[in-house]
Amino acid sequence: MTIKEAAERLLEQDDFLILTHQRPDGDTIGSGAGLCYALRKAGKNAFLYNNPQFSDSYDWAAEPYIEAEGYKPKYVIAVDLADAKLFPKGFEGEVDLCIDHHLSNTFYAKETLLMDRSSCGEVVLELSKELCELDSVLADLLYIAVSTDTGCFVYGNTNADTHRAAALLFDAGAKTQFLNKLLFRTSSRARLALEGMIFSSLRYHHEDKTVVSIVTKKMLEEAGAEEKDCQDIASLPGRVEGAHTSIVIKEGDKGFCKVSLRTNGIVNASNICALFGGGGHAMAAGCSIKKSCLEAEAMLIEAIGKEYE
């Protein structure tokens, strides 16, 4: 499906419900809220599904668009959601349109708008331009999406198209100075304490080319950290000089641990995570493994080691 085809479909429909994924990040929230705002500006009735995990992330961006109790949608859209396994908790049903940038998308929706971009926000930006005029409110929401999924434009997925999108949002009135300070240069005390624990307990493999952090529930408790304090911890081990691959393994519930894998391109992160039922991008992917953190580490190190052979 093309941008124009997707825009035509949305202009034909009404009463939208927009889904964000589990453990929502800036890209899914900014993209979802931005699309919701654009649809409303185009005269449509649109709301975000009340993802119970909004409070763990950018809830202030999502709050104005959350559905009221009893809302009955006629058309469901998923944004930045590559697999039905990532549906937000409590949602059951079919998706009419998926808007995504993950090439690992499983095409679970009736129709899919899939573009190879650094962030879903860039896809929603192109779509929004077909629905309404850009303004500062929309620019702010989509800047949250684009900037957070590229680590404020320093991750390896950043390219010329990313900067062109950012420039367009800047020209439309995005409060970039305010948002950059809020999103990238402000940390809670709990977050700083957690970072200290992570950096002091890094583990090295493959002649130091692979760096691992295991984040336990005990570490979170000692730091006083909540889920919102864990945003983007996946990027921390990769700061080590000489690291080609970095892994964060976060202890979860019911015997599971959550894995975030980042690479510089030598190892395909999506392929590695696919071995364990996950996926993502070539340089950034994730999965959940029903093992202890140490067992999961051993499995990942073995899989990654084969890529270095």
DSSP letters for 240-281: STT-SEEEEEEE-STT-EEEEEEESSSS-HHHHHHTTT-EE-
128, 120 Cβ separation under 8 angstroms: no
Check pLDDT > 90 for residue 309: no
Nearest by Cα to 268 from 156, 105, 192: 156
Tens digit of each residue's pLDDT (9 = 90 or more) over 168-208: 999 999 999 999 999 999 999 999 999 999 999 999 999 99
Instruction: Say how many Å lie between the first and final Cα of the chain, rounded.
Output: 39
The distance from CA 222 to its chain's CA centroid, rounded to whole angstroms, is 27
| pLDDT score, position 272 | 95
- Amino acid type, 62: A
CATH number of 3-184: 3.90.1640.10
| pLDDT score, position 195 | 96
pTM (whole model) above 0.85: yes
| pLDDT score, position 293 | 96
CATH number of 189-308: 3.10.310.30
- Amino acid type, 292: S
More confident residue, 234 or 142: 142
- Which residue reads 């009135």 in tokens? 173
Using CA atoms, how far residue 44 sits from 38, 100, 161, in Å, is 9, 21, 29
| pLDDT score, position 38 | 98
Name residues whose C-beta falls within 8 Å of residue 304's C-beta, 6 or more positions apart in sequence: 205, 206, 210, 245, 267, 272
The C-alpha atoms of residue 178 and residue 60 are separated, in whole angstroms, by 14
In the chain, what are the domain boundaries? 3-184, 189-308
| pLDDT score, position 307 | 87
Tens digit of each residue's pLDDT (9 = 90 or more) over 29-83: 999 999 999 999 999 999 999 999 998 778 899 999 999 999 999 999 999 999 9
Name residues whose C-beta falls within 8 Å of residue 203's C-beta, 6 or more positions apart in sequence: 211, 212, 213, 214, 297
Domains 3-184 and 189-308 share a fold: no
- Mean pLDDT computed over 242-253: 94
The C-alpha atoms of residue 270 and residue 261 are separated, in whole angstroms, by 8
Rounded mean pLDDT of the chain? 95
The C-alpha atoms of residue 179 and residue 176 are separated, in whole angstroms, by 5
Tens digit of each residue's pLDDT (9 = 90 or more) over 81-140: 999 999 999 999 999 999 999 988 999 999 999 999 999 999 999 999 999 999 999 999
Q: Where are the beta strands (DSSP E) in the chain?
A: 16-19, 46-48, 75-79, 97-100, 111-114, 203-205, 210-215, 245-251, 257-263, 279-280, 284-289
Tens digit of each residue's pLDDT (9 = 90 or more) over 211-243: 999 999 999 999 999 988 998 899 899 999 999
Check pLDDT > 90 for residue 149: yes
Strands 257-263 and 245-251: antiparallel
| pLDDT score, position 279 | 85
